[in-house]
Amino acid sequence: MTVPSDLSPEDVETVETVMAAHGYESLKETQRLAFQDGILDPGNHLLVAETGNGKTLCAETVTKKILDDGGRVGYLVPSRQLVRDKRDALREWGGDQYRIESDRTAYRTADVAVKTFDSFYRAILQNTGNARNLDLIVLDDFHEIYGGFRGPEIEKSIAAAKYEGIDIFAMSATVGNPEELAEWMDADVTVSPEGRQIEIEEHAIDTANNETKEAVVDAVRTHRDKGPFLVFNYAKPWTESRAKAVADTRAFRGSSDRNFHVELENKVDGRLTETFEKLAHALNNGVAFHHADLPKHITNWIEDLYYEGEIECLFATTTIAYGFDSPVQTVLVADIQRGPNYVGVWEYIQWIGRAARPGYGYDKGFAYTLTDEPDETAQRFFEPQRELERVETHIENQERFQWLVLELVATGWDTPHEIEAFVKEMLYWDQLTELGAWGREHGSRDERLNTRLRETADWLIEHGFISEHDTKRQFQTTALGDGAVDFAFNSFASATLLAIKEFYQWVEETDHDEVTRTAMLDKTTRLFDHSISARGGSSELEAKLEEHGIALDKYGITTGVIRWYWMNNLDTRDIEDRTEVDAAYISSTASSLSSTIEATQYLIDAAPNARRPEWFDSLTFRVDRGIRHEEVPLVENISGLGRYRVRSLQEYLRGSDIVAGRDLPDGTLWTKLTAFYESIGDSTQFEDVLRDGVDGIGPATAGNIQAFIEHGDVDSRYLESTDDSDVSSSGDTTGGYSRRTSLDDFGA
């Protein structure tokens, strides 16, 4: 192996150990330059280099150096999806010697805690485990500081590390102002002159006289030999319609011999909705679409299919650009503008960077951008003319600044001096100017910061989030403030402080009996912006919304669909037929809504006059799983039993000939199931009956059901159908189910 000759023998051994673990024989130019610049020395370092030039090996070597010296490391990545991959990569060279963990106790027990940016910031504020005693944090994909989604957490994470004196190693793809960022972090900076290891050839396609959908089809057909393709789209409807247009050409027919219609039916556990029919059609023609409204297990499956070569052309929204590592040869940017404005150069670079990534055997990648102004687009976005934007602070935004101050006060940074000291570690302080847009002087930076902090504190006091001590220069959070921060730290909902205040006041001031499941759903969807993409609903749904005084808008429709159909465990195609709402997106919306409802417990518990309803935990579970009240204990405790299989079990116990002759009692699913088990009298025969007679239930699930009946226990509240959304048709004494229901029996 060849390593820089000016490294110490100990550092040479460290570098060679990591290289050997990954099978590398030599260093790349970027790596050699970084080691020569002293990244293994104490202090902060920023490494900026193009994709494929070895930044990760540098970060892992710095990590091992700290570990060998007896230190501890926080290795931070952008998303939870990347945590496991990074943990496993680090274990390739350190797993036998060091504790490399990513679980809840990692900050306290691990030598390397592999976590997300936001978890580190919160751990520092709350002093979780030994987070404040880490010796180094590694910031992977630091360039995501550009974006509004993860950027604020990265900026706050760096400020937290600086405040605590924790060393920083940040690695980034190209950024527009590396020297300024390095100065902010008090870091040495290495900017690699090495180009991207695999060239991307960029082209602009003139679409001035063509519809975008037609232009996409033409581009894919013209460059058919340059697949697989990844097509970036601005809006979800465009993602689907363009995928359908390419699938209809059958250009990729024969990419796979699998029957994706059948596979997708098995994935969704029921009849395919209209959207899933479109997806199955596309998949059978070598095409797919991918966006955040699809269920997570479906998007994961699509990503796996693309990786395995079963899909030749994938249409996606831009969220897939982060962390997506797959055998893409050509990226097609279908929307280079959002409305009248161009996207950021940093975004474009991130998108096309998915093409021809190392390890997939490509000598060259391709990027085609559709545009009405090809010359202007090339000048703005293409090498060598493009200029990256400057990374700017995220807390100039007033809402984010208010959140920052509240978070600091709530976690003990509660004096003006402590708050000011933390804010001065932010990029905001380094970029704060003394001149306004017109060149007028606004006073010194200290004066401007103090003015803003006073105004922010006054706003938080006025709205009841914090108060001032009477006898000392110190702030304290109110019950509302504590609840708001706990909500934020336990939720991925992008909530405003005023929305949180409104929810808090609602549970505080509303009579307990009036805080119903339906009211909880409606309030949560509206205040925290959870909705199914729907412009209207069926007359059946609209009548029910009107009956309950719920507005006929996207939030009301979401409330109604989830409350009266999804939570009643209707087949998604039945839901679609009865509500005229695209049911393909219900499960993903319900999942995020469930997480937000669960987080509202902190607001409810904080409000002095509120109390958590006895059905609260059941509601969060049912919204997530789409099941009835009586089905909760079975789905919760029996592995492999989800909404489709428990529905099949219900239908079997209601309608099979074997069951009909056993005179089972009326009552809940558990009552009938245990009676059926006792009537058979033999556990093996019982499992055989379930396996042979109930759709979707195989040997493993049948065995799990039998074991739970013998050894499990069901809370008495699930022994009666007390849920106010249960439905029944006239004359149905079984409690009702599926399509035979009557909307008249839906409750609040």
- Integer Cα distance of 591 and 573 in angstroms: 19
Please give the average per-residue pLDDT across 265-274, as a whole number. Answer: 86
Q: What pLDDT was estimated at residue 660?
A: 65
Q: Contact, 204 vs 378, CB < 8 A?
A: yes
Q: Contact, 156 vs 427, CB < 8 A?
A: no
What are the pLDDT digits (tens) for 302-314? 999 999 999 999 9
Residue 675 has pLDDT above 80, yes or no: yes
- Integer Cα distance of 233 and 231 in angstroms: 7
What are the pLDDT digits (tens) for 609-652? 999 999 999 999 999 999 999 999 999 999 999 999 999 999 99
Residue 574 has pLDDT above 60, yes or no: yes
What are the pLDDT digits (tens) for 30-85? 999 999 999 999 999 999 999 889 999 999 999 999 999 999 999 999 888 889 98
Place 6 in a pLDDT band, splitting at 50, 70 and 90.
Answer: confident
What are the pLDDT digits (tens) for 191-248? 999 989 899 999 999 998 889 999 999 999 999 999 999 999 999 999 999 999 999 9
Mean pLDDT of the chain: 91
Q: How many CB atoms sit inside 10 A of residue 608's CB?
A: 7
CATH topology for the 487-625 domain: Sec63 N-terminal domain-like fold (1.10.3380)
Place 722 in a pLDDT band, splitting at 50, 70 and 90.
Answer: low
Residue 273 has pLDDT above 50, yes or no: yes
In CATH, which superfamily holds the domain spanning 9-191? P-loop containing nucleotide triphosphate hydrolases (3.40.50.300)
* 281 HSE (CA, 13 A, CB side): 17
Place 667 in a pLDDT band, splitting at 50, 70 and 90.
Answer: confident
Q: Are 9-191 and 487-625 in the same CATH fold?
A: no
Q: What pLDDT was estimated at residue 311?
A: 97
Secondary structure of 9-67 in HEC code, one letter for each residue? HHHHHHHHHHHHHHCCCECCHHHHHHHHCCCCCCCEEEEECCCCCCHHHHHHHHHHHHH
Q: How many CB atoms sit inside 10 A of residue 306's CB?
A: 23
Q: What pLDDT was estimated at residue 501?
A: 98
Q: What pLDDT was estimated at residue 737?
A: 38
Q: What pLDDT was estimated at residue 418?
A: 96
**CATH no. for 199-381:** 3.40.50.300
Residue 454 has pLDDT above 60, yes or no: yes
Q: What pLDDT was estimated at residue 718?
A: 87
What secondary structure does DSSP assign to 106-157, as a single string?
HHHH-SEEEEEHHHHHHHHHHT-TTGGG-SEEEETTGGGGGSTTTHHHHHHH
- Integer Cα distance of 179 and 181 in angstroms: 5
In the three-class reduction of DSSP (H, G, I as helix; E, B as strand; rest coil), residue 316 is classed as: strand
Q: What pLDDT was estimated at residue 1?
A: 58
Q: At what angle do helices 669-680 and 643-655 cross, to 10 degrees?
A: 60
Domain boundaries of the chain, sorted by first residue? 9-191, 199-381, 398-477, 487-625, 629-722
* 248 HSE (CA, 13 A, CB side): 12
CA-based nearest residue to 388, from 584, 593, 172: 172
Q: What pLDDT was estimated at residue 391?
A: 96
In the three-class reduction of DSSP (H, G, I as helix; E, B as strand; rest coil), residue 617 is classed as: helix
Phi, psi of 184 (to 5 degrees): -60, -45
Q: How many CB atoms sit inside 10 A of residue 418's CB?
A: 16
Residue 744 has pLDDT above 80, yes or no: no
What are the pLDDT digits (tens) for 87-132? 999 998 998 899 999 999 999 999 999 999 999 999 999 988 889 9
Pairing mode, if any, of strands 466-468 and 364-371? unpaired
Q: Measure Cα distances from 660 to 190, 249, 739 in Å.
A: 76, 51, 20
Q: What pLDDT was estimated at residue 534?
A: 77
* Positive or negative torsion for Cα 76, 79, 80, 85: negative
R_g over Cα of the chain:
29
List CB contacts of 375: < 8 A, sequence separation 6 or more.
204
Place 729 in a pLDDT band, splitting at 50, 70 and 90.
Answer: very low
- Integer Cα distance of 73 and 71 in angstroms: 7
What are the pLDDT digits (tens) for 132-174? 999 999 999 888 999 998 999 999 999 999 999 999 999 998 8
Strand partners, 332: 231, 368
Place 517 in a pLDDT band, splitting at 50, 70 and 90.
Answer: very high
Q: How many CB atoms sit inside 10 A of residue 13's CB?
A: 13
CATH topology for the 398-477 domain: Arc Repressor Mutant, subunit A (1.10.10)
Q: Measure Cα distances from 145 to 34, 117, 157, 176, 353 in Å.
A: 22, 10, 11, 12, 17
Return the DSSP state at 325: -
H or E element that contains 573: helix 572-579
Q: Measure Cα distances from 325 to 78, 121, 321, 354 in Å.
A: 14, 27, 9, 7
Q: Contact, 322 vs 349, CB < 8 A?
A: no
Residue 741 has pLDDT above 60, yes or no: no
Please give the average per-residue pLDDT across 649-660, as a whole number. Answer: 82
Q: What pLDDT was estimated at residue 149?
A: 87
Tokens describing residue 246: 């390419």
